[in-house]
Homo-oligomer: A and B are copies of this chain.
């Protein structure tokens, strides 16, 4: 049974690249990857924060947050449109 992986992003160029490259590079037999666009789903920002996400793009693997390069701070998304 695959473990849960969540890739949080905000549509920025750094995010899109990381999604295409890294989020899709995970072993599909081990990880069930969900892609979450926090700009379109701002109601999930709290969940990302609770997992330790401070900026996007970030990948949460079985509850641990891994920030991948830097696209935007979560704080900016909160204030954004």
User: Using an 8 Å CB-CB cutoff, how does the interface string of A26-67 with B read, 1 for contact, 0 for none?
Assistant: 111011000000000000000000000000000101101011
What per-residue 1/0 map shows which CB atoms of A15-26 lie under 8 Å from chain B?
001100110011
Known contacts A27-B28, A28-B27: does B61 contact A22 (CB below 8 Å)? yes
CA distance A26 to B37 in the complex (A): 22
Q: A27-B27, A27-B28, A28-B27 are in contact. Are A22 and B66 (CB under 8 A)?
A: yes
Most buried by B among A17, A25, A30, A67: A25
Is the pair A66, B26 in contact by a Cβ cutoff of 8 Å? no
Q: Are A17 and B69 in contact, with the CB atoms below 8 A?
A: no
Chain A residues near B (Cβ < 8 Å)? 5, 17-18, 21-22, 25-28, 30-31, 59, 61-62, 64, 66-70
